[in-house]
Structure formats: structure tokens, C-alpha cells
Structure 1
Amino acid sequence: MQRSNERFVERLPLVLDRPVHAYILTFFFCAAGLLLRIAAEPLLPVGYPFLTFFPAVILSSFLFGVRPGVFAAVLCGVTSWYVFIPPNGSFAFNPAVAVAMLFYTGVVAVDIILIHFMQRANFNLAVERERSRALAENRELLFHELQHRVSNNLQVVAAMLSLQRRHVDHDVARRALDDASARLSLIGRISRALYDPSGVGQDMRAFLNALTTDIVDASGRTDIQVIVTAPDGLRIDPNITVPLALVVAESVSNAIEHGLPDRGGAIAVTLESNNGALALQVADDGQGIATDSPTDKSESLGLRIAHALAAQLGGHFALTAAPQGGAVARLDLPARASC
């Protein structure tokens, strides 16, 4: 397994185009060890015949694997025996030579074995990292495909409701089908825009800007200005964001339809976070709430939905008249809402 993004140690041993190149380079490592040992001869006390050959064996094993490492061990051992073990220039064998060669063999064998198992562990680590990366990519792909299909299914249901509307003569029923179709389409768009496989919520300021712009565009109004205020980098759990987004959608739609039905105006959407608790406020500068009009949750389907969503989140929703005119919809959520 050779990948460009692997760490260098995970590519070891190096696989050259021709294995003979590894043995040629190993030979040069051994030759370098021999020259270094000869150069260090005046500085070393009697003995130490293998001192400069150990690095050649270790480097060969580390870079090229077990077989070049064994080749280096044999070549360096024979060279040091012939050149540096008395009597020099011969392969004399005696108990002292046997002990020295046994010591050398043990050291290089341990070095080669340790390097081999280290490289196997690094290779297995690279394989597992590649498998994890592939699984993560597949999970993200499947998640996006699932979200895409769910959103499409919601859009199909919304389209079916719109078609069914054509066969309904009762105005109240047609309006109910229109509202249901619009809400299903909105939920589909929210789901598609909101969720991601990491489970990290989106930045709420950007999300609310996109959501409110979508709602105003869907209303066909060009004289409505929406101002969104939210803390920098505020993120909310997706399980909380969908109900909250629906409350925003209902409140903004209610402000456009009832507060500003025949003139332009401004709608301010403010989201605040205080020690994890969230406060959402949607205020308009429209005609306000009539004193003889009920403002409890029996007033309209949209407000009943907002109250139900607030109760689902363990919070509280209220629609009140603003002192300076207009209406204010407020949703307060407990600390568990933020992430």
C-alpha cells in the first residue's frame, strides 16, 4: 500500500522498481561502514570490530526490509571478521572469535526483528487509516443521499397536496392544503440545508439569514426587509434547530401576512444565548395586534404549531404587541438547546 498522503515511516520498507537496487544500495552502506571503521581505527582502542557496521545493517533493514537487512548483516559480519578481528586478513576461528561473532549475530538479529515488526505495525496502521477514511467517505455519501431522498420525498408530498388542492372546492380546505404544502416544502429545504454527517450544527446567523430570505422570496414581497442578529459562531444541535427554524418561519410568515399585509416594513430576527439558554425574538413594525384579537394559541394554525414546537423543546412561545407598534413573537428555550 503506497499512497502519496502516507507518512514516510508507513511506506517502509521502500519498494523499488527493481529489488536489485536495494541490494546495491545496501552494499554501498556496508562499504561506507567499512571506510568509516578504517578511518576511525587510530581513534579506537583495541577491539570494536563491528562498531560502524551496525548502522549499515539497521539502515538497510529500515529502508529496504528484512532480506536486504540480512544481506547487510552477513556482508558486514564477514568483512569485520576478515579485516578487524585478529589475526587480521584471515578467517581464523577460535573461542574468542566465536563469542564475538555470536554477540554480533545476536545484536543484528534483534535489530532486524524489531525493525520488521515495527514496519508491520506501521503498515497495519496505514491500512486501518485507509479503511477508516473510506468508511467515512461512504458514510458521508450515504448520509447526503439519505437527506437528499428525504427532502425530495417531502417535496413530492407537498406537490401532491398542491395537485389535490385543484380538486377541492371548499376555500377553507384549499387554504389548509396550501399551508400544509408550503410547510412540507419548507421542512424539506431546512433538512437539506441544515444537516451534515459530523453532527455539528450550522452557524445560526448564516442559517437564519438564508432561511428568512427564502421565506420573504416565497411570499413574493420585495418591500420587506429582514434583519438577523445572532452571536458569532453560535451553533445549535440539529434536533433543536429544525423546530426553532419552523418557529422562525411561522413568525416571519405571520408578520408578513398579518402585520405587514399591505405595506412594506422591517422584521428583526434576534437570537441570543445566555449560558446555553436561547432566546429568539421576531419583531415587526407593522400594524400590531388588535386589542379585540386573541393572541393565545387558538388564534391560528401557525401560532398553534409554534406553541406545540416550543412545548416539544421544553420552552415557551408568546406573541405580544410591541410598545412602539407592531408585534413581537418570542421563544425561550432552556440551556440544553445549544451545543
Structure 2
Amino acid sequence: MPPLAPALPPRLARLTQHLRGLPGAEYWGAVGLVLGSLGLRLLFAPILANGYGFILFYPAVILSAYWLGGRPALLATALSTALACAFGPTPLSFLEDGRALLSLAFFLISSILLLHVLSSIRERFSDLARSHARVEALATGQAELFREHAQRTTDHLQLISAILQVRALGEDDPTAARVLTNAASRTLVISRAHRAFADGDGRTILFEDFARRLTHAASDRGGLEADRVMFGGGEVTVPVEQATALGLVLLEYLTTLRAHSPAARLLVVLEEQADQRVLLLTAAGAADLPPPRDTVLVEALTGQLGGSLKVARGPTGCDVRLAFPAALQPPPAWDPLTFSLH
């Protein structure tokens, strides 16, 4: 049962925790409290009458029940009763006076009632602590579920923005292209506002850890085998929004390589270069390796990052280099129409 005593100083709390680990520590604690009360009884013996010295043993009983539990408190009550009986008319003689014995009986009965009340309080507090722990665990789980749902929603909005931008780039009608570009920019603004509300501004993650987990998840769903992907660059952190865009680029290349040449190998490196970050995807191990299949989507994601994309192909490899500013870039300015399409 957890202790219900008021908060102790850190050093004393550590000592108490250590003592609680000793065998029978609670009972030795009760004996110590009774001996302390006995010292007070001897100190005030000239002042207190024989029948009233028992009141100095109340602190030992109450503190034992409050700090140590019911059974140690019963031991403290029994010892206190025996010691109180030893203060008769002469030293170490037992009480024989009727009023003194009646007072002692009252002490014993009231101590037992106190034990019952304090034990009930301790049990109620323990139940409350357990209920609070369950509620806290439930609230934590719900908060984590909400955070995960919010993260997925934000990532989907960011992907929708990129898809709208892809549609805008492939649209022949200038008016429709403007509408799609505006929609892509506005969706990205909504995505950022949602992310700021759910996660707070400025949240960053280690890209290498994120990319490793993403690669392992993708290997079972149509991506290149995880053991054929290597990572480098060290502990470079990026904002969550940038990590999402980079992750989509990585997923696109993993699925491309799996479909074209499952024997290929891929090196994933994110470098810090002054105020820029550079993602390098180096594929090797097979002939005529292609760049990411959906180049237009990769270019749209590059545009979200405010970066530049370079692809270099060779006879036995392909290098994809995506450079972008370390700071988040503002979404493209809107170019609204002066008339309605409806």
C-alpha cells in the first residue's frame, strides 16, 4: 500500500525508501515511535499524574497508523498499552487505581478506533490513487491516439496539396491550372495550421530514425527490401513537415527500385550544409537504374520544400539530389480569379 504521509525532503525521502526495503522495517519503525513516546513519558513524569501519562503514546499510535499501516499500528498500540501500565505509583509498578485503569481502557479503545478510521482513510486514498492512475493512463492513451490521428490527417493534407500541384502542372487550361495551384497552396496552409495546433510549432525529428522505420514499413508493402537500404548523415533533425515530404520522395524511389530491379541497393543520406539540407538517394547494384517513377509528384514535393531537384543517371547507378532550405518556406502566393468558374 503506498504511503500517505506528507511529502518529505528529497534526502529524507530516499532514506525512508531505503528503510522500507528492509525486512520488517514497518514494525521496527512502530517500535521506534513507541520508544520516542516512552522518552517523552519519562521526561514529563514529574508533571503528569499516573492516569494521564498514556496520552503521550497517542502520537506513536497515530503516526504508525498513518505512515506504516494497520498491523504496525496494532503493535504500537499493544506496546504503548503495556508501557502505560508500567507507570504506577512507584517506578516500574503497574497501575492499580480504578480511574487510571479506566483511562487506560479508554486509551486502548480510542486507539483501536483511530486505527480503524486511519486504515479506512488509507484504503480510500489507495483506491483513489489507483483510480487516478487508471484515468491518467486512459487519458494518455487517448491523447496519443488523437496525436496520431492528427499527424495522419496533416500528412494526408500535405500529400493532397502535392497532388493538386501535380494536377496543376499537367493542366493545359491556364485558368484551371491557377485554380489548382491556389487549392494546393491553401491546402498546404491548412496542413501547417493543423500541424501547429496538434504538435506545436518547431517540432523536429531525427530524419535517419524516421527513414529507417519508413523503409522497414515499406519493405512489406511493395518497397525495396530493408536490408538493401543503407543510411548515413548522422543525427540530422528536420521539421515534421519537411520529414513528411522527404519521406514521400523516399517511398516513391523505394517502390520504383523494387518494381524495376529488386537487387538494387540504395544509400540514403541527409546532409547539413550551412542553411541548407541536402537529401541524397544513391542507387547502385544494377544496370540502367531509373529515377523515381512519378517525377512530377517528386517535383511537386520539392516545390513544397522550396528546393531544387537534380537527377544524374549512369550505366550502373542513379543519383537523386534534393537540396532545400533548412527553414520552412512560405506556401506559394495565391493568384485568385476575378470571376467564378461556376
Which TM-score applies when normalising by structure 1? 0.51
The answer on whether the counterparts of 2:34 and 2:57 sit within 8 Å (CA) in structure 1 is: yes
* Distance apart, 1:119 and its partner CA: 1.8
Question: Does residue 196 of structure 2 align to residue 193 of structure 1?
Answer: yes
**Closer, same or farther: CA 46–105 of 1 in aligned 2, 3 Å:** closer
Aligned-pair distance for 1:93?
7.0
Equivalent residues in 2 for 1:4-19, closer than 5 Å: 8=7, 16-19=20-23
Which residue in the other structure is 1:234 paired with? none
In structure 2, the residue matched to 1:327 is none
Cα separation, 2, equivalents of 1:61 and 1:123 = 14
Partner Cα separation in structure 1 for residue 51 and residue 123 of structure 2: 35
Stretch moving more, 88-97 or 117-126: 88-97
Aligned mates of 1:190, 1:33 — CA distance in 2: 65
- 2:66 and 2:118 in contact (8 A); partners too: yes
- State whether residues 50 and 89 of structure 2, in contact with CA within 8 Å, keep that contact through their aligned partners in structure 1: no
Whole-Å Cα distance in 1 between the matches of residues 47 and 104 of structure 2?
23
3-state secondary structure, aligned to 1:56? helix
Q: Distance in 2 between matches of 1:99 and 1:23?
A: 28
Deviations 1:35-70 (A, max 9, x none): 321221211234214121111111222221111100
Q: In structure 2, what is the equivalent of residue 105 of structure 1?
A: 108
Distance 1:140 1:118 in 2: 32
Residue type matched to 2:152 in 1? R
Q: Residues 67 and 19 (structure 1 numbering): CA distance in 2 closer, same or farther, change over 3 Å?
A: farther
2:287 maps to none
Partner of 1:75: 79
Partner of 1:149: 152
Which of 39, 51, 65 in structure 2 is aligned with 1:61? 65
- State the partner residue of 1:299: 338
The match for 2:118 among 115, 132, 135 is: 115
Q: How many residues align?
A: 209
Task: Say if 2:163 is the partner of 1:160.
Answer: yes
Aligned CA distance change for structure 1 residues 95 and 46 (closer, same or farther; 3 Å): closer
The answer to whether the Cα contact below 8 Å between 1:49 and 1:85 also exists between their aligned partners in 2 is: no
Partner SS state of residue 154, structure 2 = helix
Q: 1:35 aligns with which of 33, 36, 39?
A: 39
Aligned mate of 1:135, from 111, 125, 138:
138
Where does residue 23 of structure 1 map in the other structure?
A: 27
Alpha-carbon deviation of 1:87?
A: 7.8
Q: C-alpha offsets along residues 261-295 of structure 1, whole Å, 9 cap, x if unaligned?
A: xxxxxxxxxxxxxxxxxxxxxxxxxxxxxxxxxxx
Distance 2:23 2:43 in 1: 31
Contact 1:165 1:178 in 2 (8 A): yes
What residue number does 1:177 align with? 180
Structure 2 stretches of 5 or more lacking a match?
201-302, 307-329
Query: How many Å separate the matches in 1 of 2:90 and 2:6?
Result: 47
| Matched-pair contact (CA < 8 Å) for 2:88–2:96 | no
Equivalent residue letter for 1:29: L
Q: Is the 8 A contact 1:36 1:52 kept in 2?
A: yes
Letter in 2 for 1:54: Y
Does the CA-based 8 Å contact 2:50-2:87 persist in structure 1? no
In structure 1, C-alpha distance between the alignment counterparts of 2:28 and 2:199, rounded to whole Å? 53
Identity, % of aligned pairs? 26
Shift of 1:109: 0.7
CA–CA separation in structure 2 for the residues paired with 1:172 and 1:149: 31
Aligned-pair distance for 1:105?
1.6
How many Å separate the matches in 2 of 1:148 and 1:117? 46
- Distance in 2, matches of 1:40 and 1:92, equals 17
1:126 match? 129
Describe the shift of the 1:28–1:97 C-alpha distance in structure 2 as closer, same or farther (beyond 3 A).
Answer: same
Instruction: Provide the rounded CA distance (Å) in 2 between the counterparts of 1:2 and 1:36.
Output: 29
User: Residue 51 of structure 2 corresponds to which residue in structure 1?
Assistant: 47
Is the contact made by 1:162 and 1:181 (CA closer than 8 Å) also made in structure 2? yes
Q: Deviations over 1:141-186 (max 9, x none)?
A: 2222222111111122222223334543222222222222222222
CA distance in 2, matches of 1:123, 1:67: 17
Q: Map 1:245-284; keep pairs closer than 5 Å.
A: 253=333
Maintained 8 Å contact 2:34/2:76:
yes
Q: Root-mean-square deviation (CA), in Å?
A: 4.0
Deviation at 1:97, TM superposition (A): 6.4
